[in-house]
Chain A
């Protein structure tokens, strides 16, 4: 009876661990989608609403998911303080400050950093071009992440099950 309970505990424990990993993989994918949404909305609102950047960032921060909301809020505060004239530099600094909250790979994170140049363009046409460019890059990253996600999810589930069985065999 005790052995059966032990087995059950190990299996449910491993299942729990695998769920944590699965949630992490999904959150990573979600962050990529949110990143693309941010680029689109940022570009559109800059082109059509023509609000000054600090106001626009505060407005977007209210409707976008974390960690992007925090990044936008902090960037708006930096801009309000007029501490530095280079917006892209400020964008990179704020991203760096929030880096731990991002689940992105190095390549994805760099793309996000580079996408900050959208904020520096002086007219609508240049911005539209930049938004298109970085959106395409994000599309590729999302496509790649979607392909990998299924495999990673399967791998995560099989590994946790295998690890659970291995532990049961070793311990019992």
Chain B
């Protein structure tokens, strides 16, 4: 650390101009972006208002995952993506980027507010609250025959166009050539940053070509009732994730004895040597 600091201090003068140049564009920005036209699901619900959404789909998304996703509408992203989208986002979770925070966006419904479009050229707009220079934008559309009541899988996406080395502004337009489709579809985009970060952003925009059949109202599958198993810890034993410990319970972990300082259910990452707030070494 010390050596690096000295180096940084020595280069302060040289870096000052660069630092100023870097500071200026970032001071007004706080985050990133999403598709505004056709509006992505997160943008639609953010525009409706996270606390009082109007459409049934946004109401359901808030009920399923809370409001925070829609305050943070411009961060449906993975910080360490680095182009590995298909490896790190599971099928069925493409709209949330596999993130629990955004799980409301994955709801399989045929009533997400959708823009009416048709085959031919379509101008799309990306709203970037923090435009990052030198970025790649990929656009996809769901295959003919896909239905919004099915999970969205990577294999459902047909590549439309990719625009590399883009320098987006706050609102950036691209023109896509849209193929023939009927009914409801999703335009999916991936914004992969190339400079400064491996972060990538993902968007699902619902569009409607018309002519589709209206599927019956979707019923959300009710999850099976979860049975909570409360394990009664032995008076002494080996620490185990999933066990609920009370103050005074004693465990061994890697041959060392600990006493519980605060009641909690043990989880991975809260092993006794690393959580002095929960465990006292004996």
B is bound to A:
no
